[in-house]
Structure 1
Amino acid sequence: MSQSSGSPIFGKRKEQPILILARGEKVHHMTVRPWMTAVGVSLGALFAVGYLASTSYLVLRDDLIGGTMARQARMQHDYEDRISALRAQVDRVTSRQLLDQQVVEEKVEKLLQQQQALTSRHGKLGSLIERAEESGLADPGTDKAESEKHADATGGIQAIERLMGLAAKTAPKGPALAYAAPFTRTDARGGDTITDRADRLFSRVTHSLKDIERSQKDRIATLTSGAISATDAIETIVARTGLSVTPDPADVDAARGRSDADGTDTAMGGPYVEPDTTDVFDRQLVELDTALVRLEQVRGEVRKLPFSNPAPQSDITSQFGNRLDPFLGRLALHAGIDFRVAIGTSVRATAPGKVVVAGRNGGYGNMVEIDHGNGVSTRYGHLSTILVNVGDVVKAGEAIARSGSTGRSTGPHLHYEVRLHGDAVDPMRFLNAGMKLSSYID
């Protein structure tokens, strides 16, 4: 039971609660102090707060875990999207790199083919140039300049190939390709990409090859024009003598076929078909070959004709045509021209041919007649000594006799005639033509 006590001054004191504990015959009692109550209340409150907190955590934990997993799922998705984008970028860069490399390789292959074609053309052109030089045509180009251009083109192609090797060597591997492609990398000197350098080299090599091609075509065109001009000039000069040396087109084609087959032992044949010359260069080569063959044939015909002087450095004392006969004193035809020469001066054949007369022949005295073919012949009269026999084949400029004063002659001189199909023509036509032709034949 509880008891209370009072104070005379302050009145009654509040009674303290007493807690009685009984166990069998033993009874215990304990006074419950205010602080004990406070501690108990505090512990109860603490337990309640802890219980509520635990309950709240358990309730919210699932939400937190779900949110975290959702966030991680979003992050993983974003990461996978980024990886996919990087892979796509790598694929694009790799494809662009392969495409660039393929384009470069195709350009290099094309340049090599062009260079090989030009080299082959130079080989074809070389034989024609030699023939042109033998024909007296001046070559407008120089092999040295062309060789330098070839060397420059070769050096440029080699430089491009070195750039391709550098690009492959310095190309980043793996994902790094997404950030740098071989043919767009800046070289060690900085400020310049391999692509830029390759483009400049391509431009330089292409320019060199075009220069070579243009030079070859210019040389061909100039030589062809020169051959045609020389042939026309020779034909015009010869035509003034009453002769024609224009070759038959069929003979030109046949000669071209023989020139193409020179240097080979392979038998050939078949019907003639016009060559396939769709390529401009090949067509120009055919034109030059045809012009050279025509020039060579014309020159060959001219060399068979009597255009040289039978007595070089001798004066002409009597021209061709009507004159007073020195023996009869009346008008007569002088069928040749007379040269003032001393007895014993060498008389030379004015063209190659066959001796048909070698002996005494009336008013000619000792005479030599040479048949040059195509109805052309020459006569040499009043000779003191004959050095050839009938049937001999002589060359142009070969000594055939020595001058004298035999036959109807008033003194030492050489009587010289040119005959076409048996008719006497003025030899001065041939001598004048010979002087004009010297620049085209010699």
Structure 2
Amino acid sequence: MSVKEKQALPCTSSLGNYLWHDPPQESKWADCVHCGMCLESCPTYEQSGEEQHSPRGRVYLIKAVAEGKLNVDEHFAEPVFSCLDCRACTTACPVDIDVGGLIEEARGQIRQALPLKGWKGAVNKFFLHGVFPHQNRLRSLGGLLRFYQKSGMQKVVRKTKLIQIMPKHLAEMESIMPEVKGSVRNKFNTDIKAKSETKQQVAMLTGCVMDVFFSDINEATINVLTHNGNDVSIPKNQTCCGALHVHAGDREMGRKLAKQNIEAFENEEKVIVNAAGCGCMMKEYGELFRDEPEWKERAEKFGEKVVDIAKHLHDTGYEKPKVNMNMRITYHDACHLAHGQGVRKEPREILLDIPGVEMVHMPNADRCCGSAGIYNITNPEMADAVLKSKMENIPEDVEMISMGNPGCMIQMALGVQKYGRNQKIVHTVQLLDWAYQKEEGDKNNGSH
């Protein structure tokens, strides 16, 4: 069935000028009184000063379409897709208006009314449908990128300035591309035993972007879990979490991926995630199935099992390193970890438990960096302005910036390069793993 034929079908859940399945829910905006408490929390409003680019402005527009006052058109799409979906407004809101949920539902309506066409549509379909949902294709892509980096092609491209034929923001992203090291799913078995006495069994999401560009963080996660008495399983049939799809308005593919993950992890007691955006999406799978009661119940049960690596370690206990690491660091709150999952103190306490770590306070640590999935690719100008604001808050006298999300790591690495900084960007679990490794190395060398 073609897109036009689908759009022509009547929808029993239509609302005002939302004519397709799964419209924004009235319950999510009903308590909004446009008080303005959200304004100072919004990065796009901070940059633009325009009401339609504020949380309450977007809520008003979404409500106006439901009331038949506005149409689902380009004028509506622009402010909805310019939102970072960082959830800071919900944290600031006195009645917890779920602006992020409304934005994602509105994007689903927009993409049915205004499907992407031309090269944007082709690129969107290639990556969101042709690559991310398929583990084998992702690993193949990772292999190609590794060849590009290791064969000398990357050096030639950069030295001859061929990279300059790319759009500026993509060329900048290429310049800070992490070293591709190979998937952990190729390196580890599906079941990995704890290094000491087994305390519990957990499963782990390896992710899509995470296992291509940040497989070293996945490996560090496995090392830390097994060091602390966790048997780790890596289900073979798991897939992309679907966050990028839902953020892009492709809720149908988001549901398809969610179902696959729910089935893959159904028999597991706990699902460990080291990417804030993935964890938040998976905990909210129930939102995708409000018209499918059976799947909604399964999705909500699944969401209760999903836990961030830092929170899991903090809540279940972990061995505090004894070796001195001697480093000055600061911590950035990934939006979907702090605002989306409420995980703030746990990563900080883990870092402070590493001897020799001096934590330097970052003002507005929970302010978005501008990554927001692929926002820094689709909205480069706004993402750059938000990044500049973020970098102004990062202390200069630190060696490392720690965080818990791969998108943030890429964006912050870009900021460090762009603004002449020299800090190393690290994931919180990496620092704990390095401390364990150093301690083990000292023991093997007979050091005390």
Q: Which has more radius of gyration? A: 1
TM-score, length of structure 1 as denominator length: 0.20
TM-score, length of structure 2 as denominator length: 0.20
More RCO (CA 8 Å, sep 6+): 2
- Between Structure 1 and Structure 2, the one with more strand by share is 1
